[in-house]
């Protein structure tokens, strides 16, 4: 992002539309921006429109993930932004739990920043989540870490309900 003066654009969306929009963001590729951008337009800092479009898209995707709408269901360390235990912000028709009742937890961490976490049902989704978490960064720095760990789902006993 070339301009450090960010603007806030409030958006009120029903949950289903937020889920669908997060899916659209996830599925939009650089090539899509390349096809739609003006090849003559450059911004004041010299960047081509395609690069500014791509940057904006990734930033919006990052904000949706922070709000709990991202690939595999996004989770942050801010509990108020996370869905209730055992639920997902987006419905997953036909989804099944893993045989062992666990999930994969993908975490991106950077010194001085909150960790960004994604909980995924399988290895393919965990790989995609890791790639998205990396792509959301302006730049990678020494000490950045991405980890994938097995995460057992809490049981009723763990939650003190049994």
Residue, of 56 and 3, whose pLDDT is higher? 56
The per-residue pLDDT for 36 is: 92
Residue, of 71 and 117, whose pLDDT is higher? 117
The per-residue pLDDT for 37 is: 92
The per-residue pLDDT for 4 is: 59
The per-residue pLDDT for 40 is: 92
Q: Give percent helix, percent strand, percent coil of the chain, each to the nearest 5.
A: 35, 15, 50
Spatial distance between the Cα atoms of 120 and 138, rounded to a whole number of angstroms: 24
Domain assignments of the chain as residue spans, ordered by start:
12-70, 71-88+99-162
Confidence check: pLDDT of 68 > 80: no
Lookup: tokens for 129:
């989540």
The per-residue pLDDT for 155 is: 53
Nearest partner of 71 among 23, 138, 15, judged by Cα: 23
b (16+ CB within 10 A) / e for 67-88: bbbbbbbbbbeeeeebeeeeeb
116, 108 in Cβ contact below 8 A?
yes
Q: Please write the tens of the pLDDT for every residue from 81-120.
A: 444 444 555 545 444 344 345 677 888 888 878 788 888 8
Provide CB contacts within 8 A for 64, sequence distance 6+.
Answer: 18, 21, 22, 25, 70, 74
The per-residue pLDDT for 77 is: 35
What does residue 52 show for φ and ψ, rounded to 5 degrees? -70, -40
Q: Please write the tens of the pLDDT for every residue from 137-154.
A: 888 888 888 888 776 655
Spatial distance between the Cα atoms of 125 and 145, rounded to a whole number of angstroms: 18
Q: Please write the tens of the pLDDT for every residue from 4-47.
A: 577 888 888 888 888 888 888 888 888 888 899 998 999 988 89
- What distance separates the 2 farthest-apart alpha carbons in the chain? 64
The per-residue pLDDT for 139 is: 84
């Amino acid at each position: 992002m070339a301009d450090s003066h960010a603007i806030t654009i409030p958006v009120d969306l029903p949950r289903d539309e937020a889920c669908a929009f997060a899916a659209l963001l996830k599925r939009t590729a650089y090539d899509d921006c390349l096809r739609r951008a003006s090849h003559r337009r450059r911004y004041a800092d010299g960047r081509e429109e395609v690069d500014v479009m791509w940057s904006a898209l990734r930033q919006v995707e990052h904000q949706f993930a922070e709000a709990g709408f991202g690939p595999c269901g996004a989770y942050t360390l801010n509990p108020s932004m996370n869905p209730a235990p055992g639920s997902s912000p987006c419905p997953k028709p036909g989804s099944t739990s893993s045989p062992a009742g666990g999930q994969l937890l993908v975490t991106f961490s950077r010194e001085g920043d909150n960790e960004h976490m994604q909980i995924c049902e399988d290895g393919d989704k965990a790989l995609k989540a890791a790639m998205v978490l990396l792509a959301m960064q302006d730049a990678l720095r020494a000490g950045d870490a991405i980890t994938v760990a097995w995460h057992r789902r809490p049981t009723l006993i763990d939650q003190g309900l049994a």
